[in-house]
Amino acid sequence: MPKMLKADQNISTRSGPEQGGTLGVKMRQAQKLLRERQIDTAQLDARLLAAKAFGCAPADVLWHEGDRMSSQATKRLSGYLARRIGGEPMAYILGQRSFWKNEFTVTRDTLIPRPDSETLISAVLERITDRTAPYRFLDLGTGSGCLLLSLLREYPAATGIGVDISAAAVSVAIKNEQRLNLQDRAGILVSNWFSKVDGTFDIVVANPPYIVDKHIDDLEPDIRDFEPRRALAGGGDGLTSYRDIAVSLPDCLKRDALVAIEVGAGQSGDVCEIFGAKGFRIDGVFQDLGRRDRCILMRR
Ligand SMILES: C[S@@+](CC[C@H](N)C(=O)[O-])C[C@H]1O[C@@H](n2cnc3c(N)ncnc32)[C@H](O)[C@@H]1O
């Protein structure tokens, strides 16, 4: 892992006497620094971090390249670079990540939404073709709310509930609900799976934690050291959450309800078996772009 830069070290003092330099100069210094620390995405990261520190959209960096960077903005940039050099994912430093068609606020209390999870959104859209019905959605382990809120944007007459065991994650999902103007159609609450969930649903989605506990230490450091363990750890065989969910799921389903559940690499057979034993039939297995089974659709 690259060596840590202390948060109070200013990039100007490390990389030249550029105090009060322009955005363009600071961005190039940042890029050089990140490259020296073997960060593959140095150019892009430097641009995004410089834009955030300066307070402009990344697309406007060229426009502002010749503008002077204030000492506060330079200090902010130094702080961001220190975090990046320490291995922190860009999404946490920027405080957001795009997923499906929207930007989502993320913090270290939430998993960073993954492109693989967009497989679940495509699978639901493929199966539920009537976009106008007033469906009721449930999202188990909502995290940033990316699954529920993306689906509610696709089904404009639908409502939904997202639950998470982490109160901090729930606060972030509520921010996203407001950011996407979905507060009238979404409810986000703290719940241990179904403990606080009432009623029945047309569509239940879930991306539960599914990493085998003993494999967590082998994950890439940016995941292992920064993402919430509760969002990753799936128990001794990675399947604990699926078993827990399968027990109570039948009670909250409307007639012919659709269940869409994300699985980890190599888990689809085991997950189909767990839900099959509770009377579910498989309605489709969808693969991610890497051609791994990623989302299972089921009905009961
Ligand atoms: C893999 S993350 C998925 C987050 C989000 N849905 C996404 O796709 O990016 C799993 C989420 O499940 C939550 N979780 C773990 N155990 C839970 C439980 N017993 N009840 C409710 N949520 C739980 C975690 O806090 C985490 O936010």
Q: How far is the CA of 65 from the centre of ligand 1 (A)?
A: 41
- What is the reported pTM? 0.93
Q: How far is CA 37 from the centre of its chain?
A: 26
Q: How far is the CA of 145 from the centre of ligand 1 (A)?
A: 10
113 close to ligand 1 (CB < 6 Angstrom) = yes
Ligand 1 atom closest to 112 (CA)? 9
> Which residue has the least CA distance to atom 19 on ligand 1?
192
| Beta-sheet pairing, 293-299 with 201-206 | unpaired
> Which residue has the least CA distance to atom 2 on ligand 1?
231
Q: Domains of the chain, with CATH numbers?
A: 11-87 (1.10.8), 99-299 (3.40.50.150)
Structure tokens at 205: 């989605």
Q: Cβ(267)–Cβ(92) under 8 Å?
A: no
> Which residue has the least CA distance to atom 11 on ligand 1?
141
Q: How far is the CA of 290 from the centre of ligand 1 (A)?
A: 23
Q: How do the pLDDT tens digits run along the chain, 300 residues long?
A: 333 444 334 444 344 334 559 999 999 999 999 999 999 999 999 999 999 999 999 999 999 999 999 999 999 999 999 999 999 999 999 999 999 999 999 999 999 999 999 999 999 999 999 999 999 999 999 999 999 999 999 999 999 999 999 999 999 999 999 999 999 999 999 999 999 999 999 999 999 999 999 999 999 999 999 999 999 999 999 999 999 999 999 999 999 999 999 999 999 999 999 999 999 999 999 999 999 999 999 999
Q: Cβ(30)–Cβ(37) under 8 Å?
A: no
C-alpha–C-alpha distance, residues 127 and 29, integer Å: 50
Mutate-to-test residue for ligand 1 from 106, 107, 142, 150, highest number of ligand atoms within 8 A of CB: 142
State the DSSP code for 299.
Answer: E
CA distances for 264 relative to 148, 200, 237, 243, 244, angstroms? 19, 27, 11, 14, 16
CA distances for 157 relative to 30, 42, 97, 162, 178, angstroms? 46, 43, 26, 17, 17
> Which residue has the least CA distance to atom 8 on ligand 1?
207
146 close to ligand 1 (CB < 6 Angstrom) = yes
Handedness of CA 280, 282, 283, 284 (dihedral sign): positive
